[in-house]
Amino acid sequence: MHKKISVILFALIIFAIPLISLFLPYQKISVQENRMLADFPKFNFDEFTSKRFMKGFDDFVSDHIAFRDQWTTVKADLVTDIGKRDNKGVYLGDNCLIENIASPDPSVYQPNTEAINAFAKKINKPTFLLLAPTAAEIERDRLPAFATTYDQSEFLKTVGENLKGVALINTVSTLSAHKNEYIYYRTDHHWTSLGAYYAYTQVGKDLGFTPLAYSDFEITHAAGDFNGTLYSKSGYRSITSDTIDFYTAKNGSSLQSLVIGSGDDAKTYNSIYFKDWLTQKDKYSAFFNGNQSIEDIKTNGQGKNLLVLKDSYAHSLVPFLMNHYSRITMVDMRYLVQPLDEVVKLKDYDQVLFVYNVDTFNTDDSIQSIN
């Protein structure tokens, strides 16, 4: 009898899981993981002999298996139960998730540095590089016991030594001074608006404006149930959700227009905050409508024009900078398909600011196409 039970249970599971998967409604995206799920792969002779069909089929099965989110969550719990303190490159810290970013890769960061040097020489305007440290550096104290992560300060020093005609903005000590405050999201790889505020005070010193005091800002709690990218990647579900805050200067300059995109695709908006995102999973996209190739901001303030070449860390920093410039143009080279000088007139700008977090600077080479 017990033999039959084993066999019947086994058969039940291997038949039930595919059948339930087939009958559940088809999902195109995963909200939890914040990504598109794999489509059913194309089948033809070429796709078959090259094994692309099989690879696609495996991805399809894995993405559309019934209860995918639950499996993932249980797995993260299981690995925690057996003593692991990281899953998929994310450390389970003290009520926070911290990404263990890849060690410096000279084959990426050196050409990136040289590209910035060459760009500064070409445009001959004051040029700055803000390399934002990630939580792994600043929140070292909150990593699991004995967990190691590489020294980002040391890395900043190395990059700084190789910069020519470009000033490095180092925010490590400024941020470290506030490391016990809420400066990085607990479940996301970005810094919070507060973290960006502290960085802004440092940026002001280097770019030559007087930053506004903390008390000059009015703070709006835009959303309180934000579960970010590290929540999705790691599968850890026990961390307190994050809050997204918007900082508005009480007597600062106000937005005149925000133009997203270029040429015929350009669209004009009257706010830098896109509140529709706040009801969705990817709430960080509420800043500047997420990752866009080019965004042109005009304010009613009197000031210089600033060109910002950046990754998404800039999205929470630029709202502060807007109080000191009449125009800021943000370009994300990861998403820009045209050459840079086709979409921006370089001579219009008085200063150039590169904003990248250490990880992007180490892993992404799109910045090399600025020249």
Partner 1 sequence: MVFSSLTFMYVFLPLVMTIYYAAPKRIRNLVLLIEGMIFYAWGEPVYIIVVMASTVMDYLYGRLMDKYKGSKKTMKALIVISIVSNLGILAVFKYSSFIIDSVNGIFRLNIPNPHIPLPVGVSFHTFQSMSYTIDMYFGNIAVQRNLVSFCTYVTLFPQMVAGPIVRYSEVEHDINKRVINFHTLDEGVRLFIKGLAKKVLLANNIGAVWSTIQATQASNLTVVQSWFGILCFTFQIYFDFSGYSDMAIGLGKMLGFTFPQNFNYPYLAKSITEFWRRWHITLGMWFRYYLYIPLGGNRCSKVKQIRNLLIVWALTGLWHGASWNFMLWGLYFGVIIILEKFVLRRFLDKIPGVIRLIVTFFLVVCGWVFFEFDNLSKGFAYFGAMFGVKSAGAINSETIYQIYTNAIIFVVCAIFATDLPAKALSKISEKATKAVHILTPVAQVGALLASTTFLVDASYNPFLYFRF
Interface positions with partner 1 (CB under 8 A): 1-7, 9-10, 13-15, 17-18, 21, 48-49, 51, 54, 57-58, 61-62, 65, 68, 71-72, 74-76, 78-79, 82-88, 144-148, 235
**Min separation Cβ 173 and partner 1, Å:** 23
Nearest to 236 by CA among 108, 360, 85, 18: 85
Alpha-helix residue ranges (DSSP H) falling in the chain? 2-23, 45-49, 52-64, 68-81, 106-123, 135-138, 152-162, 172-176, 193-207, 229-234, 314-321, 340-343, 358-363
- What CA–CA distance (Å, rounded) separates 154 from 368? 23
The residue with tokens 């919070």 is 192
Q: Give least dist CB 70 to partner 1, A.
A: 9
Q: Each residue of 104-133: b (16+ CB within 10 Å) or e?
A: beeebbeebbebbbebbeebeebbbbbbbb
Name the minimum Å distance from CB 130 to partner 1.
Answer: 30
Q: Of 9 and 266, which has the nearer Cβ to partner 1?
A: 9
**CB-wise, 101 or 353, nearer to partner 1?**
101
Q: Which residues contact 251 (CB under 8 A, 6 or more apart)?
A: 216
Q: How far is the CB of 278 from partner 1 (least distance, A)?
A: 28
Tell me the C-alpha distance between 255 and 262, whole Å: 19
Q: How far is the CB of 86 from partner 1 (least distance, A)?
A: 7
Q: How far is the CB of 194 from partner 1 (least distance, A)?
A: 30
Nearest residue (CB) to partner 1, 15 versus 214: 15
Which residue, 69 or 365, is less far from partner 1 as judged by CB? 69
Report the C-alpha gap between 362 and 108 in whole angstroms: 6
> Rounded to the nearest whole angstrom, what is the least distance from the CB of residue 57 to partner 1 in the complex?
6
Judged by beta carbon, residue 58 or residue 348, the one nearer partner 1 is 58
CA dist 320 and 217 (Å) reads 10
The DSSP bridge partners found for residue 153 are none
Q: Taking the complex as a whole, how short is the minimal distance between the CB of residue 105 and partner 1, in angstroms? A: 13
* 354 vs 367: CA distance, rounded Å: 10
DSSP string, 40-108: PPP-SHHHHHTTHHHHHHHHHHHHHSTTHHHHHHHHHHHHHHTT--EETTEEE-SSSEEE-PPPP-HHH
The smaller minimum CB distance to partner 1, of residues 82 and 213, is found at 82
* 87 or 312: CB nearest partner 1: 87
Instruction: CB nearer to partner 1: give 24 or 54.
Output: 54
Nearest approach in angstroms of CB 27 to partner 1 is 14
277, two tokens: 């995102």
- Residue whose CB is less far from partner 1, 13 or 213: 13
Tell me which DSSP letter residue 301 carries.
S
Q: How far is the CB of 248 from partner 1 (least distance, A)?
A: 41
C-beta pairs of 151-159 under 8 Å, 24+ apart in sequence: 152/358, 155/104, 155/109, 155/358, 155/362, 156/131, 156/358, 158/104, 159/109, 159/113, 159/129, 159/131, 159/361
Q: How many CB atoms lie within 10 A of CB 74?
A: 13
Q: Judged by CB, which is closer to partner 1: 120, or 230?
A: 230
